[in-house]
Structure 1
Amino acid sequence: MLRTIGLMSGTSLDGVDAAWVETDGEAIGRIGPTVTLPYDPALRRDLRRLLDLAPDLLPDDPFLADCVRRLTDRHADAVARIRELAWESFREGADLIGFHGQTILHRPPPIRPGRNAATAAEALRAPGRTWQVGDATLLARLSNLPVAYDFRSADVAAGGQGAPLVPVVHAALAAALPKPLAVLNLGGVGNVTWIGTGEAGEAPLIAFDTGPANGPLDDWARKSTGSDYDRDGLLALAGEADGAVLGRLMAHPYLEALPPKSLDRLDFSRALQEAGADRLSPQDGAATLATFCALCVAAAARHFPAPPLQWLVCGGGRRNPAIMRALAAALEAPVRPVEVVGWNGDALEAQAFGVLAARVQRGLPITFPGTTGVAAPMTGGRLVGG
């Protein structure tokens, strides 16, 4: 087994999560320490600006280069800290880093009504683009470890959605849990993994983005209160969801499109404006966005082959009582944080990129027809350093 350090910087732009995990890319052995290093306010602001600039940004732009260097330095700090903690815990180091980088643009092949995995070849006529920034070569040099990176590009080039990537790790972690099971990750965007029972004729793994999650709510809290997010859901819990705005938002064609499908963090920005969300009070706007997140998840459940026995929730959204309350009201099965089955909901994605790094090194598939829409399971990612 390899000793890996997985790194994840999500769409919330709040910092880098790092985790130590022992794995061969299929089985998961010891799970070691985890850490989150927040970004300083200037870096967070500049990364947020990159999201706006990305569609027209040139790779040699000086502002981009400066952001990439600072972002990579912070990831190197996280690697150094995890190595210290792993040595304290196990007297062991690490063999490999899984470096996701920071997504600043995600424009996968267009989804179409009725599109499914069997028609993935159709997407080849409409190539997409996904862009994660971060200097893997610099990170390998700073850490003196090989780095697996660029996990999404090959899938998008082959007509896949390029996301989500974590489902194969969800399935490994859930091997002994009752199924069907849904694992819901609520970051800036929501994504879900449906894991089947493995019975003959049943799709074993289906995954896709559900819709906006923390991203719009974080932006709303920042605009309304100056806070980076709706701490403890207090803003949303103080308001009431606006039915008219929700009705307009739920008419968005993305919610009816068949999976596989994925989103950019800003894909619903125009829809939120056109729905009239900007005219709501701070409290009612937050309540509406929290409810919208949950209704998107409920709409996603219509695409499952069978209802899940339970929903396990990871990501920052599970810490927002307003979102969790809305999920409980919108879904028929129990909704619980992943900690009830012994998983770490804050570190799960970082752990997953440690596992995916091992899969890259071993040449194992990282994307699948049921998760991204590629025609067949395919490898991806690149390695640098050694």
Structure 2
Amino acid sequence: MPDLFLGLISGTSADGIDAAIVRFDDRADGGLDAQLRFGRTYPWDAALRARLVALGQQAAVLTLDDVGELDVQIADAFADAALAAITDAGLTPADIAAIGSHGQTLRHRPHGRDGDGRAPFTLQLGDGARIAERTGVATVADFRRRDVAAGGHGAPLLPALHAALLRAPGEDRAVLNLGGIANFTLLPGDGGAVRGFDTGPANGLMDAWCLRHTGEAFDRDGALARSGRVDAALLQRLQGEPWFALPPPKSSGRDQFHLDWVDAALRGHESVADVQATLLALSATTIADALRATQPATTRVIGCGGGVHNAALMQALAEALPGVTVESSAAHGLDPDHVEAMGFAWLARQTLLGRPGNLPSVTGASGPRVLGVVHPA
């Protein structure tokens, strides 16, 4: 069997499809080596991305035909990205053992639609069968639903990989993924249980606000946020969201933290730049508060995801966490733009090897589970 795996993910920001081709090797000491052979982000078709963003903001109603059509369109976009990555890496489909495809999250309701625990569900679109047909490569997809079926949140799913690659004895570390939503992996230096959870917004609200008011998909280097001032009253209203006070395990998504949620807190006199500065402050403060509440002895935060490139956000995090080193995963040999896609390559490998992909201490599931549905080549 080939030893290369291809991971695909488009996160809550829907800012592109990340593809990573990775070779993994199990070490004799139980650790893991991961070599990124190739990584690249492929753009969405503009019209499809606009539709996905609108759905994430709860700005549209879908029929069953819409859902079925989107499932195919997203799968085709993922298959195109996979084939492009294979070609751009100088490989052929026969060189890839399997594709691990996250898909695009349409809704994430691990507590049920009304939060009452009835009928919990998570829904990612991007038909794995179609990806396998289009690429000729075995495809593992639909990773989150098994964990939810086992009583978990289905997220986050990468803490086990973070632990294998970034844990350090004697140092309490936290891996911080800054996608549309922020999530932590907590790695205690004493060998204690790995934990992980979503903290709330990272880039998602800032990206959406920037797109609405400037036409740009994101706030490059935090320039718009830097041009404004934090509105303390607005920040306090946003921080009052009850979700922030929930204990882990917990997870969230764009379907909870969206512009309608922001609009409900506005009073109509705030400037565009001031709201952007406040949304950045919301991300930084809720992340810092969550870390202090769950692993207060943390000395190093290792960031990955698109938010690492937002200098204003990284500065705000460092200021909110005095005495803590806040750095990119690049300092540890891991490209911050491709850690998540590497994770879904790893999850595909775990599935094919019959190994669990979740950590119950993270998701709250009733036990370890082999995740995903395998669509053979």
* TM-score, scaled to structure 1: 0.89
Query: 1:336 deviation in Å?
Result: 1.0
Map residues 100-115 of structure 1 onto 2, 5 A cutoff: 100-109=102-111
Question: Is 63-72 or 321-330 further displaced after alignment?
Answer: 63-72
Query: 1:306 deviation in Å?
Result: 4.4
The answer for the alignment partner of 1:326 in structure 2 is: 316
Which amino acid counterpart does residue 103 of structure 2 have in structure 1? Answer: G
Query: 1:91 deviation in Å?
Result: 12
Cα pair distance change 1:384/1:250, threshold 3 Å: same
Instruction: State whether structure 2 residue 51 is matched by structure 1 residue 46.
Output: yes
Give CA deviations for 1:6-49 in whole Å, capped at 9, x if unaligned: 00111111211100111268723432011111112111112223
The answer for the alignment partner of 1:75 in structure 2 is: 78
Give CA deviations for 1:128-185 in whole Å, capped at 9, x if unaligned: 1100000111110111111111100011122211111111111111145763111111
Map residues 66-215 of structure 1 onto 2, 5 A cutoff: 66-87=69-90, 93-109=95-111, 126-176=118-168, 179-199=171-191, 202=192, 204-215=193-204
Distance in 1, Cα, partners of 2:99 & 2:144: 16
The answer for the alignment partner of 1:255 in structure 2 is: 244
**3-state DSSP class of the match of 2:293?**
coil
Distance in 2, Cα, partners of 1:190 & 1:175: 19
**3-state DSSP class of the match of 1:255?**
helix
Distance in 2, Cα, partners of 1:277 & 1:320: 27
The answer for the alignment partner of 1:375 in structure 2 is: 366
User: In angstroms, what is the RMSD of aligned CA positions?
Assistant: 2.5
Query: 1:226 deviation in Å?
Result: 1.5
Contact 2:167–2:173 under 8 Å retained in 1: no
Question: Is 355-364 or 268-277 further displaced after alignment?
Answer: 268-277
Query: 1:328 deviation in Å?
Result: 1.0
The answer for the alignment partner of 1:30 in structure 2 is: 35
Distance in 2, Cα, partners of 1:266 & 1:21: 31
Instruction: State whether structure 2 residue 234 is matched by structure 1 residue 245.
Output: yes
Distance in 2, Cα, partners of 1:218 & 1:2: 37
**3-state DSSP class of the match of 1:12?**
coil
Cα pair distance change 1:264/1:127, threshold 3 Å: same
The answer for the alignment partner of 1:336 in structure 2 is: 327
**3-state DSSP class of the match of 1:95?**
strand
The answer for the alignment partner of 1:114 in structure 2 is: none
The answer for the alignment partner of 1:116 in structure 2 is: none
The answer for the alignment partner of 1:362 in structure 2 is: 353
Unaligned runs of 5+ in 1: 112-122
Which amino acid counterpart does residue 5 of structure 1 have in structure 2? Answer: L
Distance in 1, Cα, partners of 2:321 & 2:261: 24
**3-state DSSP class of the match of 1:302?**
helix
* TM-score, scaled to structure 2: 0.91
Cα pair distance change 1:302/1:29, threshold 3 Å: closer
Which amino acid counterpart does residue 5 of structure 2 have in structure 1? Answer: T
Instruction: State whether structure 2 residue 301 is matched by structure 1 residue 296.
Output: no
Distance in 2, Cα, partners of 1:36 & 1:106: 24
Query: 1:197 deviation in Å?
Result: 2.0
The answer for the alignment partner of 1:236 in structure 2 is: 225
Distance in 2, Cα, partners of 1:359 & 1:216: 33
Give CA deviations for 1:321-369 in whole Å, capped at 9, x if unaligned: 2211211111131111111111110011001100010111122111222
Query: 1:278 deviation in Å?
Result: 5.6
Distance in 2, Cα, partners of 1:224 & 1:56: 23
**3-state DSSP class of the match of 1:148?**
strand
Distance in 1, Cα, partners of 2:59 & 2:167: 39
Distance in 2, Cα, partners of 1:285 & 1:74: 33
Which amino acid counterpart does residue 337 of structure 1 have in structure 2? Answer: S
Contact 1:16–1:36 under 8 Å retained in 2: yes
Distance in 1, Cα, partners of 2:238 & 2:57: 22
The answer for the alignment partner of 1:12 in structure 2 is: 13
Distance in 2, Cα, partners of 1:99 & 1:271: 30
Cα pair distance change 1:54/1:65, threshold 3 Å: farther
Unaligned runs of 5+ in 2: none
Which amino acid counterpart does residue 363 of structure 2 have in structure 1? Answer: T
Question: Is 304-313 or 236-245 further displaced after alignment?
Answer: 304-313
Which amino acid counterpart does residue 362 of structure 2 have in structure 1? Answer: T
Contact 2:107–2:123 under 8 Å retained in 1: yes
The answer for the alignment partner of 1:3 in structure 2 is: 4
Contact 1:190–1:211 under 8 Å retained in 2: yes
Query: 1:245 deviation in Å?
Result: 1.0
**3-state DSSP class of the match of 1:191?**
strand
Give the total of aligned pairs. Answer: 369
